[in-house]
Amino acid sequence: MQAVGQLSPQEWLSHADTRRVIAALTAEGATARFAGGCVRDALLNLPVADIDIAIDRPPEETLRLLKAAGIRAIPTGIDHGTITAVTPSRHYEITTLRRDVETDGRHAVVAFTDDWAADAMRRDLTINALFADIEGRVFDPVDGMADLGARRVRFVGHAETRIAEDVLRILRFFRFHGRYGAPPADADALAACRRLAPKIADLSGERVRDEMLKILGGHHPAEVIVLMRGEGVTRWVLPESLDIGRLRLLSWLEERGIPGFAADPLRRLGALIAHASDDAAAEVAARWRLSNAEADRLLAMRQPSPEGVPHVAMPVAAARRALDDLGTIAWQDQVLLAWSEYRDLNGTGGPVPGSRGTCAWEVLLHLPETDPLPTFPLTGADVVAQGVAPGPRVGQLLRQLRAEWRAEDFRPDRADLLARLARVVDARET
């Protein structure tokens, strides 16, 4: 296989740990090359996170070569040929070249090989089937560089064959198209995704969740979801009622509109299914196997305080009470979702138009930092110190005083509340 290109200088490529790992792997004549995402992103001058390496030797030999060089090696997936090399600066995932022997749409039985073209042919997308050596020379068995340059996301070989090997590749196609592609999407890929979409129902909730949250956390998720819906894919992972406009505006606010707020996949999911019923939202949480904390947060986005949904017309005192009801995370989730809906419906108009409207929403959003709620100054020990026996009455008195403290905009201090507590206890005893 001849090199067809050259990577620009890369910090990770010249790093001492990287060179040490490659030197260990090739010490006895093996060929080891960087594979997949790190090569793709380096060609695009994007930050490289994970560094994957392919090698033409069996995993047991990879283990031996690393250990001989004094590099810690962990057999993280040895049955599928994967070893993790641990160095002071980073981890390197090293996988033996493979070919598929048997697939069922979810799992694959593989055989190890020393054929680089065979390994490339079993990968999902051409832009993920690129290799580079330690000198930065790029090897391209399936024309991935041309697709990368054209911003074209395309399956390796026959699209339906690649999807039939692992149905999750449907969702991966849309994720990578959203990240690296440009319209129009590859027609053969779309046709294959459309025809095989019902098989998504056979995937585990965890795999669907991981891929969908990556889609929602990426750039322009609304456009990706629109494309998926047009091909009949979303019906297999989401409720029918989708709020594309709110998702689009929320994504804009997170990525460009508000300094300091990053893309939040779970909040974006909340925006997308805002029009769905509570039962449908709970079903998504269950089907995607969200953690209890994630499911609770998703449902909390839909449950406003008794003070109402956050809005620029909400009085400050009411907003503070709502913040008290919801807590910081749910408050900011609800503010961003409400702001997104407001912008979707009104643009920059509405009761508080233009930049003044933006400022008003930002005041609500940053309320937990700019005007934090004080901690309620009393505890059960204060009530017991007034001669009240431990038991239900302690809680009743604390709730009564806390309600007064809240009704007065959280202003009464400890001395004031202790005086009130003493009066209430005295009044009940006389």
Question: Which two tokens mark 398?
Answer: 């604390």
Q: Are 82 and 24 contained in the same domain? A: yes
Residues forming a β-bridge with 52: 93
Q: What does the pLDDT read at residue 102?
A: 64
pLDDT in tens, 20-29: 999 999 999 9
pLDDT in tens, 304-353: 999 999 999 899 999 999 999 999 999 999 999 999 999 998 887 777 77
Contact, 153 vs 181, CB < 8 A? yes
- Boundary residue ending a domain (320, 336, 370): 370
Q: What does the pLDDT read at residue 172?
A: 98
Contact, 246 vs 274, CB < 8 A? yes
- Boundary residue ending a domain (107, 125, 149): 149
Q: What does the pLDDT read at residue 190?
A: 98
Q: What does the pLDDT read at residue 14?
A: 96
Q: What does the pLDDT read at residue 257?
A: 83
Q: What does the pLDDT read at residue 311?
A: 94
In a domain, 20, yes or no: yes
Q: What does the pLDDT read at residue 6?
A: 96
Q: What does the pLDDT read at residue 168?
A: 97
Range of the domain at 37: 1-149
Q: What does the pLDDT read at residue 352?
A: 74
Q: Are 355 and 392 contained in the same domain? A: no
Residue 107 has pLDDT above 70, yes or no: no
The count of structural domains within the chain is 3
Say how far apart CA 328 and CA 367 lie, in whole Å.
Answer: 9
Question: Which two tokens mark 284?
Answer: 């998504």
Section 231-254 average pLDDT: 94
The packing angle between helices 205-216 and 278-287, to 10°, is 110
Q: Are 127 and 84 contained in the same domain? A: yes
Cβ partners under 8 Å of residue 334, min gap 6 = 301, 304, 309, 310, 326
Say how far apart CA 407 and CA 318 lie, in whole Å.
Answer: 10
In a domain, 126, yes or no: yes
Say how far apart CA 346 and CA 376 lie, in whole Å.
Answer: 39
Task: Grade residue 293 by pLDDT with cuts at 50, 70 and 90.
Answer: very high
Task: Grade residue 104 by pLDDT with cuts at 50, 70 and 90.
Answer: low
In a domain, 106, yes or no: yes
Section 404-415 average pLDDT: 96
In a domain, 356, yes or no: yes
In a domain, 190, yes or no: no
Section 191-206 average pLDDT: 97
Q: Are 310 and 421 contained in the same domain? A: no
pTM for this prediction? 0.90
Section 283-312 average pLDDT: 96
- Boundary residue ending a domain (149, 183, 205): 149
pLDDT in tens, 40-99: 999 999 999 999 999 999 999 999 999 999 999 999 988 889 999 999 999 999 999 998
Q: Are 115 and 97 contained in the same domain? A: yes
In a domain, 120, yes or no: yes
Residue 105 has pLDDT above 70, yes or no: no
Min mean pLDDT across 101-110, 165-174, 276-285 is at 101-110
pLDDT in tens, 353-408: 766 688 999 999 999 999 999 999 999 999 999 999 999 999 999 999 999 999 99
Q: What does the pLDDT read at residue 355?
A: 67
